[in-house]
Amino acid sequence: MKKEEQTIDKIILSFKEWLEGKHSKGTNSTRVARVRRIAKYYNILEEYSCDHCESLIYSLTYTKGDKVDGNEPKTDIVINGDYISGLNSLKQALEEFVSFLDDIGYVSPAKHNKKTIFIGGFEEFKRYVGPKCRNEVNAFCKKERESHNGVCEYCGQKAQLQSAHVTDRPIIIKKILNEHFFQKSENNYEVDLELFFDLFRQEHTPIRDKIFFLCKKCHNELDNKKTITIQDIKNKRGY
Ligand SMILES: [Zn+2]
């Protein structure tokens, strides 16, 4: 067995343990089997490191509309039977596997071989890398955000939800830089960006404790007007 296969095999075993008690035994073992099936076709861990499996999830998406329009499935995985429900079950299993990887804060060891290095001060880092940090947060919070069904955690109104940090993003960024990256001279960091984003993701786990999901107005009142506080939102949650 190749090293790659050993790694995914081990991780799928801990996924199996992680699933215990979440669904019925039967459901758990089909989910595990489905992830194994996907792993035969794709390098799930690499896909996860690359874009959080977003494009892989997209390629497993096949809807009634696609079928009506005569679109071919976007994946090479062969389904015996109905492609819509078959791919949908694979996708569901993969999404749960992604939640599991989020939960354990999975970081690919191989990734650190190819480095992209930023050299500069904190302000420059914020300016150039900050926007990607914001997008990353949105991407890896997507599931948790969707679980709120568009209801603001503070005012309870239906809205397009935004992700609000318990700790401000720049503080998180600064903390990671100071703890993990060597300063060549004063306020001059040398940052391996891949590693930075892994650490950045880990800082946001578990998402529930790090991010609030608010409507635009409440988010603004928390961040800019300071008329509501983090404690107010925690009180709404009951802790
Ligand atoms: Zn609100």
CA 169 to centroid of ligand 1, rounded, Å = 20
Phi then psi for residue 227, to 5 deg, are -80, -20
Residue that has been written with the tokens 């800019």 in this structure: 224
Q: Answer yes or no: are the C-beta atoms of 44 and 8 closer than 8 Å.
A: yes
C-alpha–C-alpha distance, residues 6 and 11, integer Å = 9
pLDDT score for 1: 56
The pLDDT tens digits of the residues spanning 149-166 come to: 999 999 999 999 988 888
Determine the Cα–Cα distance for residues 170 and 203; give it in Å rounded to an integer: 12
pLDDT at 108: 75
CA 210–ligand 1 middle distance (angstroms)? 18
Average pLDDT, the chain: 89
Residue 180 · residue 119 · CB < 8 Å: no
Q: What's the CA-to-centroid distance between 213 and ligand 1, angstroms? A: 9
Res 158: pLDDT: 95
Rounded Cα–Cα distance for residues 177 and 217 (Å): 31
Q: What local confidence, expressed as pLDDT, does residue 237 receive?
A: 85
Q: What residues does 185 pair with on adjacent strands?
A: 188
The Å distance, Cα 24 to ligand 1 centre, comes to 36
Which pLDDT score, from 0 to 100, does residue 55 have? 86
Output the CA 173–ligand 1 centroid distance in Å.
26
Give distance in angstroms: CA of 46 to centre of ligand 1: 37
Count the helix, strand and coil residues of the chain and give each as a percent rounded to the nearest 5: 60, 10, 30
| Interval between CA 167 and ligand 1 midpoint (Å) | 19
pLDDT at 95 (0 to 100): 97
Write down the pTM of the prediction. Answer: 0.52
pLDDT at 49: 85
Full 3-state SS string of 94-139 = HHHHHHHHHHHCCCCCHHHHCCCEEEECHHHHHHHHHHHHHHHHHH
What is the spatial distance between Cα 211 and Cα 209, in angstroms, rounded to a whole number? 6
* Rama region for 10: left / alpha / beta (φ>0; ψ in -120 to 50; rest): alpha
pLDDT at 140: 82
What b-and-e string marks burial along 33-71, b requiring 16 or more CB atoms within 10 Å of the CB?
A: ebbeebbeebebbebbbeebbeebbebbebeeebeeeee
User: Residue 202 in contact with residue 105, Cβ under 8 Å?
Assistant: yes
Q: How far is the CA of 142 from the centre of ligand 1 (A)?
A: 18
Residues of the chain with pLDDT under 70: 1-4, 110-114
pLDDT at 56: 92
- Which pLDDT does position 224 carry in this prediction? 85
Q: How far apart are CA 216 and CA 221, in angstroms?
A: 9
